[in-house]
Structure 1
């Protein structure tokens, strides 16, 4: 099982094809959910990379059971979430 932490905020969320879905704006470590902005502006992406942002109303909720891997710069899901938008 993949474990999410607040250190994952600001990482890019990638689908199974390696395409960027969005950027992680917030992580709820207790509920194990990542909130992802599917269309971050350049400024918002920069703020998120510094860990200074928060989840918005249009953010996608990604539970940890849908996450395949976490690296230093990205979170990769085991499904194609981009088609769900």
Structure 2
């Protein structure tokens, strides 16, 4: 099982085919849920990459058990969201 942490904020979320779904805006380490901004614009990507963003109403909730791998720059899911 993958364990998510606040260190994962600002990483890209990728699907099983390597396509970018969005960017992780916030991680709730207690609930093990990543909040992902789908299709962020340039400004949002930059802010999230610096770790200054927060989740909002249009973010996708991605539970840790949906995440197959975590690298320095991305989270990759093993199923369609």
TM-score tier by shorter-chain length is: over 0.9
Distance 2:12 2:3 in 1: 16
Once the two structures are TM-superposed, the CA of residue 10 in structure 1 deviates from its matched residue by 0.3
Gap runs ≥5 in structure 2 = none
Residue deviations 1:8-37, cap 9 Å, x none?
A: 000000000000000000000000000000
Structure 1 runs (4+) deviating above 4 angstroms are none
2:47 paired with 1:61: no
Once the two structures are TM-superposed, the CA of residue 80 in structure 1 deviates from its matched residue by 2.0
Aligned length: 81
2:81 paired with 1:77: no
Residue deviations 1:57-76, cap 9 Å, x none?
A: 00000000000000000000
> Which runs of structure 2 are paired with 1:7-26 in the superposition (5 Å)?
7-26=7-26
Distance 1:67 1:41 in 2: 23
Q: TM-score, normalised to structure 1's length?
A: 0.93
